[in-house]
Amino acid sequence: MFIPLQFLKHLLLALLLFTLTNCAFVIKQSGNFDENPYYQKKELLPPKTFCPHNKRMLITSGLLFKENFMAFLSKLQNANIVLTPIEKFVLLALLQQNLRPDLASPTARLQVLTNNHGKQQYFNFIPNKELIVAMNDFAVLEKSIKESLPAEEVLEDSKNKKRTAKSASKPILKSASFFPYLFGLEQLLKSFNSSRSLLQLAEIIDKHYHYAFKVEKGFDQFLASMAPSLASSETWKRYFFREDEIITKGELLPKINYSKLIQNYLQSFSDLPREKLYSKKTRMVEQNADIFPNASLFSISCNQDLSLYNQNKLNISATSVETNIFGIQEGDVSILAASLQSPSSAPIYKDSILISGGIPSDEYNLVCLLVPKEKGMPQISFLIDHDRDPGQHAYHLLRKGLLKSRSAKDFDHYLKSSRYLILQNPLRLIVESQRMQSSETEQTFKLNLPIYNANSIARIIGHIYTTDESTFVTEERSEDILTCL
C-alpha cells in the first residue's frame, strides 16, 4: 500500500524524533479500533526477559507443559539417554503438536533461527510452491522430480505443455498434502549431524513421555472461536467436545501416537525425494546500511526489504496470523522456532487431533540477522510476529538504535521501548500509551490524525551472542514463557 510521499516522510520523522506539531486528539482505548484480537488487553507475564547468567534455557507456552517437559528431560537423563541440543529441540517441537495442534501441525510453516557456536542461520520450511503451482497433474510433477529438473526448467516445461480438459482433471498436489513442519525437523537433525533420526526421537516420546496434555492458554481461544466449524466433524466431536460443549482450558487432550505420525510422513511420496518437494531456505534481503544508524558495523539481512519503508511504502496485511513460538538453548547452541498456518476445520488424519491448514505468506513473520563486521561485536537475530505489518517495527527498531546494543541488557532495553503502528483506510496511528515516556505522550497529543491506544503492539523475540553471553531476549508483551535452567 502507498501513502503520499511528503506526508509519510513527515509522519515517520516526527514519530522518531518527537518533533510533532498541530492540534490534539484524544487517545481512544483499544478494543474498538480494530477487529484484530491481539490488540486486546491481556495479562503480562513476570518480567524475566533474558537469562544473564545461564546458558541453558527454554521457551514455550503452556505452564503445565513447561513443567512436564522439564521433568521429561530429567527422566531421560536419569535413564542415561544422552541428547544433543538439536535432539532436545526436536523433542520439544514434536510435543508442540499436542500443545498447539492448530499451529504446530505437520502442515504448518516452520521458521527456525539457529546460532551454533557463533554461526547464525535461518531456515524457512514450506512446500516447494514453484513445483506445486507449475504442475497441473501428478504425473508431470512425479516425472520432473524423478529426473531432478531444476524448478526453473519445470516451470518452463509446464508453461509450454499443452493442457487439455482430460489432463486438468487428474489429481492435483495440494500444499495441504505436504508436511513441511516434519520435513523441517528432519532436515535440522541432518544439518546438526544428529545420530538419531526423527522416527527414533518419536519412539523416545512414545516410550518415556507419560504426562497429561491439557488445553492451555491460546488453544482454548482457538477452540472457542472455531466451535461451530469443529462441530461439523465427527473426529472433532470425539476429541474436542463434551456432549454439545467445546472443551475449555484445563481439560484433557489425547496424546498423539508420534511413531505412527512419523511413519505416515516417511511413507508419503516415498518414491519421490522429499528434498524436491520442499523449500528449506528463504530469500534474505541485504539491507541498505545508509538508512540505519551504526549499520556500517553490521551486515543486516531480513526476509523483507526494509528500505521500502524509507520510500514511504507500507506492507499492511488485512489481519495478523497467530504464531506458536518455542525454543531451546544448551551452551553455545540456540534454536528458536515459529510455526504458523491458517487452520482449517479438517483433521490431518481421520483419527487425529492434528488440524490441517494453509501456509501464510512471508509478510506475516519478519526475521532479521545482524552479523558483525568486526570482532567483539554481538551477533543479533530477531523475529517479529502478531502484527499486521511486522516490517514497520523492524524498521523502527533499527532506526531507534538497536545496532548500538552490545549486551542482552541493551537489546532488552530497546524491546521494552514503546511502539506504534501506522494503519490505513482510514489513516490512523496506534500507540502504546502506557509504555510511552511523558515527553512522547505530550508530543503525540499534538499529531493531527486519529490516535488509538493498544495495550501491546506486536511481539519481538530474539537472541544475542557475544564473547561473554548467549541468551534469548523476550519481552513482557509476549505470552511465551522463558525459563532459565
DSSP strand E in 249-306: where? 252-253, 278-279, 285-286, 298-302
Assigned domain for 244 exists: yes
Instruction: Report if residue 382 sits inside a domain.
Output: yes
Q: How many residues comprise the chain?
A: 485
Residue 441 counted as domain residue: no
Q: Hey, which bits of 190-323 come out as E strands? A: 213-214, 241-242, 245-246, 252-253, 278-279, 285-286, 298-302
Of the candidates 308, 419, 300, 305, which has an alpha carbon nearest to the alpha carbon of residue 362? 305
Instruction: Give yes or no for a cis peptide into 254 (omega within 30° of 0).
Output: no
Average pLDDT, integer, range 384-388: 93
pLDDT of res. 177: 67
- Residue-level pLDDT at 463: 98
Q: How distant is the alpha carbon of residue 258 from its chain centre?
A: 23
Is 333 a residue whose pLDDT tops 90? Answer: yes
Instruction: Render pLDDT for 405-461 as a digit per residue (tens, 0 to 9).
Output: 999 999 999 999 999 999 998 999 999 988 887 777 777 777 788 999 999 999 999
- The 10 Å CB-count burial string (b at 16+, else e) for 220-246 is bebbeebbeebeebebbeebbbeeeeb
Q: Which of 41-55, 179-193, 344-358, 432-446 comes out lowest in average pLDDT?
A: 41-55
Average of per-residue pLDDT values in the chain: 83
Structural domain that includes position 47: 31-135+173-419+457-484
Four-CA torsion 363, 366, 367, 371, nearest 10 degrees: 110
Give the pLDDT score at 85.
98
21-25, 235-239, 315-319: the lowest-pLDDT one: 21-25
Q: State the average pLDDT over residues 12-36.
A: 40
The dihedral over CA atoms of 172, 175, 178, 183, expressed in degrees to the nearest 10, equals 140
Residue 388 CA from chain centroid, whole number: 14
Residue 207's CB is within 10 A of a number of other CB atoms, namely: 12
| 340: three-class secondary structure by DSSP | strand
Lowest mean pLDDT segment, chosen from 66-75, 193-202, 223-232: 223-232
On the question of pLDDT at 281 being above 70, the answer is no
**Tally of CA atoms within 13 A in the half-sphere of 247 that contains its CB:** 18
The position carrying cell 518533533 is: 19
Sheet holding 451-453, edge to edge: 420-423, 428-431, 451-453
CA separation for the pair 156, 11 (Å, rounded): 45
Instruction: Tell me: pLDDT of 8 over 80.
Output: no
pLDDT at residue number 146: 53
List the grid coordinates of 230.
469443529
Q: Are 95 and 101 in contact (CB under 8 A)?
A: no
Which residues, in sequence order, are bridge partners of residue 372? 298
Mean pLDDT calculated for residue range 334-346: 92
pLDDT at 125 over 90: yes
Strand partners, 463: 381, 472
Task: Look at residue 166 in the predicted model and tell me its pLDDT.
Answer: 34
Task: Locate 105 and state its grid cell.
Answer: 501441525
Helix axes 198-208, 85-99, angle to 10 degrees: 60
Residue 436 lies in a domain: no
Tell me the C-alpha distance between 185 and 101, whole Å. 16
Question: 3-state secondary structure string, 341-355?
Answer: CEEEEEECCCCCCCE
Check pLDDT > 50 for residue 34.
no
CA–CA dist 129, 155 (Å, integer): 11
Residue 244 pLDDT > 80: yes
Asked whether residue 206 is assigned to any structural domain, the reply reads yes
Residue type for 329, please?
A: Q
Distances from the Cα of 287 to the Cαs of 3, 306, 312, 394, in angstroms?
A: 22, 7, 16, 12
Residue 437 lies in a domain: no
Q: For residues 205 and 76, what is the distance between their CA atoms, to the nearest angstrom? A: 10
Q: What is the pLDDT of residue 439?
A: 73
pLDDT at residue 320, as a whole number: 86
Rounded mean pLDDT, 118-137: 75
pLDDT digits (tens, 9 = 90+) for 163-175: 333 333 333 334 4
Rounded to whole angstroms, the Cα distance separating 390 from 57 reads 26
Q: What is the pLDDT of residues 156-201, one digit of tens each?
A: 334 444 433 333 333 333 445 689 999 999 999 999 999 999 999 9
Distance (Å, rounded) from C-alpha 233 to C-alpha 219?
18
Lowest-confidence range among 39-43, 181-185, 206-210, 232-236?
A: 39-43
- The domain tally of the chain equals 1
Is residue 87 pLDDT above 70, yes or no?
A: yes
How far is 446 from 443, CA to CA, in rounded Å?
A: 5
Average pLDDT over every residue of 81-101: 98
- Grid cell locating 309: 519503508
pLDDT, residue 11, reads 59
Share of the chain above pLDDT 90, in %: 61
pLDDT in tens, 288-326: 989 998 889 999 999 999 999 999 899 998 888 889 999
Q: Which three cell numbers stand for residue 83?
A: 541428547
Q: Is the dihedral of CA 235, 241, 242, 247 positive or negative?
A: positive
- The DSSP letter of residue 51 is -
Which tens digits make up the pLDDT trace of 131-149? 655 544 455 545 555 554 4
